[in-house]
Chain A
Amino acid sequence: MWTINRYPGAWLLPALLPVILLTVYPIGHALWTSLHEVMILFPGEPFVGLKNYQRVIVGDYFGVALRNSLVFTLIAAPSVVVFGTLIALFLQKRFFGSQVLRSVVLLPWVLPGAISAVLWVWVFHPSFGFLNGLMIDLGVIDTPIGWLTNPRTALGAVIVAHVWTQIPFAVVLMMAALSTINGETLEAAAIDCRSAWKRFRYVILPEIKSMIVVLLVYNALTAFTSYDIVYAMTGGGPGTATTLLSFQIWRESFSMYDFGAGSAVAFIVVLISAMLIVAITRALPSDLFAGE
């Protein structure tokens, strides 16, 4: 008799097989590749141990790319969550045009990264960009600022563009979380407490804490592996101002044809991502992983 108790492994297979095929195998293959010299221009794939890891870590770009990726993540992920939460709280209110506004807020979500990048290049462009034009018209500046071409402002500019693309998803999830809060609880809180901040701090926040953790983890991973929008806006420049670790994976693999080194960088990214997840879940305990 086929029962779950007698053959638990067999019953799990339909769920496990896709995971094995689509996740475990590629990761395993990437690990194997990172330990071999896999250069598409050379025949053979000899085992080289940790040589690929050593080469990329002591290379010219690793330090600065790691620093940029961490700065990018540490600013972008919390920004997305904060702005996403604020916008979700605002959109929860019913007012004239609120339905239309909810749709408009979702617009950045439907744009591909490359399109968003082109849009933001036109916003930040020194010669014909909207932002410089506005600031000059308002008398804030006399000469245009090279937002994307000045090493001091480029990373900030691409973070703004990245955050803009990620906010809609955060808004949707946060609105879903807010909608699960009992209406009577909110009414009682409104009667008992006049401070909106205190109502948020003591009534709403505990209810949406799990979602905040989910969003922080998701956005930390998205930011740490961000590639398309930054690549299309600055190509990693000027100099190394916006060079991220994800660039190194691509550059090693496809520009330098060295899939071994590219996989080594990818594995380092995986390890750091895992550490980020642990750090976030430890720093913000919630009942999200209560079953562990």
Chain B
Amino acid sequence: MQLRKLLTASAIAVGLAAQPTIAQDITLEFVVWNYSLETVQDNVAKFEAENPGIKVNVTDYAWPDYNDSLILRIRGNTPTDVVYGGQDWLPAWGAAGFIAPLDSVAPAGAIDELTKDIAGFALTDVTYDGKVYGLPYYSDTISFIYNKKILEDNGIPVPTTWEEVTAAAEKLKAGGMDKPIIYEYDQELPNFYDAFVAQSYGRGAEMFDADLNPLFADPGNGAYKQLQWLADAWSKGLVQPDSHESTIIPAMNTGNHAFTVVFTYVLAALNDAATQPLAGQFAIAPMPGETHSTLGFAKSYVITAKTAADPARAEAAWKFVNFMAGKPYTVAKRWAVEKGLGFGQLPLFEDQDVITAWGKWADVAALGKQASIAKAGTYTEFSSVWSAYFRPLLAQAMVGETPVDEVMKAGAQRWTELKQQFASR
């Protein structure tokens, strides 16, 4: 009798162990850059709790290495389902067939419904070849940030043009501040070019015409003038370059600098009373220039083409992307409230929790106004290739190694070459 029970129990146990994995047991591979991983993991845990049968494995890379690490992953056929996408890489990834339009994985009408809520520049940034490839993870602008106290103490009004920035910086330098402007300067980072475009937009510049012909090599163009301005400010000893925002934050908090141009979310860190001695002294001003426009951009959740081709994985991946970026925008709101990240989902601008949280470190009305006049950048299949070529040239012009005219002409020529090369393939 005992033996029969034992055999029966063993048979049940073996039978259970031999059962095939249930259909919905899927582990998604989610690739991110390593910003605030604990929040990412917590968001993932919440998704897993709401979606039994779907697990998400998070892999992170450092921001400067993200694009090349991801390309190697996909080229090496490493399983990858959902990734963080950048506006500057998205067209190239789309052209290479790495990623899939979201309407190929989402239920009919879902993407149209969600895109109604997305800010114009953010929607442009997640769209390639007329199709939406991503939903915003965060969306932000590039801001001109100044130290209110330093300007007040020195009787300097908030500059509204770049020429006024020069005058203010020269006055501060004459008063003993060695480098009034601190500038994020790393030619290997895409945001080095983005910050330059944001400043040019402030002057009302267009970098390219409607047919994607370069306009910036014209000395009358705002971008040309802005590069000249940067080179002049550099030669006058007004600018301290710094390789990353993470060191600009403590540097601004030494009180040795009055102005910087960085992602808007950096303002939250600058004004963080828990960690920064001069918290509360920093504010954004409209980007100097005639139009005060700036660059708006969106980072997004993107699904790989290989995943989109597998119906079961595609369904799970869409559920995950929709959880992270879809209605009711819980995750986007969390990033905004806890970390000060901007968002592309417009209804969040009216969310009281967001308004309260942002009010601690910024003038929310000023942020909203800036977002309303921000413009998207020009991104094509070859723009990230061109940007990698052009950024070191920009860097050379700023420090006076190469004349502005030469840099702008070389940049325009390379853009035209790439445009022709890509058109012929």
Residues of A within 8 A of B (CB): 40-43, 60-61, 114, 121, 125-128, 143-144, 146, 148-149, 151, 231, 233-240, 243, 247, 250-251, 253-258
Complex CA gap A144/B257 in Å reads 13
Complex CA gap A251/B64 in Å reads 12
Complex CA gap A240/B241 in Å reads 14
A146-B241, A251-B388, A257-B385 known; A239+B396 contact, CB < 8 A: yes
- On chain B, which size bracket covers the interface? 35 or more
Contacts A43-B425, A151-B401, A237-B395 aside, 4 further interface pairs with beta carbons under 8 A come to A114-B62, A128-B250, A238-B398, A239-B399
Residue contact A255 to B388, C-beta cutoff 8 Å:
yes
Residue contact A40 to B75, C-beta cutoff 8 Å:
yes
Q: Check: B308 CB closer than 8 A to any chain A CB.
A: no
A239-B401, A250-B68, A251-B388 known; A127+B257 contact, CB < 8 A: yes
A40-B75, A121-B243, A236-B392 known; A128+B178 contact, CB < 8 A: no
Residue contact A238 to B185, C-beta cutoff 8 Å:
yes
Q: Please, could you name 8 A-B residue pairs with CB atoms under 8 Å apart, sorted by A?
A: A40-B71, A40-B75, A41-B385, A43-B425, A143-B178, A239-B392, A240-B401, A251-B388
Interface of A is mostly: loop
A123 to chain B, nearest CB (A): 12
Complex CA gap A240/B187 in Å reads 9
A40-B75, A235-B186, A251-B388 known; A127+B96 contact, CB < 8 A: no
A126 contact from B188, B240, B396, Cβ within 8 A: B240
B96 contact from A41, A125, A144, A258, Cβ within 8 A: A41
Residue contact B247 to A125, C-beta cutoff 8 Å:
yes
Question: What residue in chain B is nearest A149 (Cβ atoms)?
Answer: B241
| Number of CB contacts from chain A to chain B under 8 A | 107
Residues of B within 8 A of A (CB): 62, 64, 67-68, 71, 75, 92, 95-96, 178-179, 182, 185-189, 240-243, 247, 250-251, 254, 256-257, 381-382, 384-385, 388-389, 392-393, 395-396, 398-399, 401-402, 410, 422, 425
Complex CA gap A148/B399 in Å reads 13
Q: Which of A114, A144, A237 has the most CB of B within 10 A?
A: A237
Residue contact B393 to A238, C-beta cutoff 8 Å:
no
Question: What residue in chain A is nearest B396 (Cβ atoms)?
Answer: A239
A255-B385, A256-B389 known; A127+B254 contact, CB < 8 A: yes
B65 to chain A, nearest CB (A): 8
Residue contact A127 to B256, C-beta cutoff 8 Å:
yes
A16 to chain B, nearest CB (A): 26
Q: Which residues of chain A are within 8 angstroms of B256 by Cβ–Cβ distance?
A: 127
Q: Which residues of chain A are within 8 angstroms of B422 by Cβ–Cβ distance?
A: 41
Residue contact B188 to A235, C-beta cutoff 8 Å:
yes
Complex CA gap A144/B242 in Å reads 14
Residue contact A254 to B71, C-beta cutoff 8 Å:
yes
Question: What residue in chain B is nearest A243 (Cβ atoms)?
Answer: B392
Question: What residue in chain A is nearest B251 (Cβ atoms)?
Answer: A127
Complex CA gap A43/B95 in Å reads 10
A126-B179, A149-B242, A235-B189 known; A240+B396 contact, CB < 8 A: yes
Complex CA gap A239/B397 in Å reads 8
Q: Which residues of chain A are within 8 angstroms of B71 by Cβ–Cβ distance?
A: 40, 254, 257
B185 contact from A60, A237, A240, Cβ within 8 A: A237
Question: What residue in chain A is nearest B388 (Cβ atoms)?
Answer: A255
A57 to chain B, nearest CB (A): 16
Q: Which residues of chain A are within 8 angstroms of B75 by Cβ–Cβ distance?
A: 40
Q: Which residues of chain B are within 8 angstroms of A255 by Cβ–Cβ distance?
A: 67-68, 188, 384-385, 388
Q: Which residues of chain A are within 8 angstroms of B410 by Cβ–Cβ distance?
A: 60
Complex CA gap A36/B68 in Å reads 20
Residue contact A235 to B399, C-beta cutoff 8 Å:
no
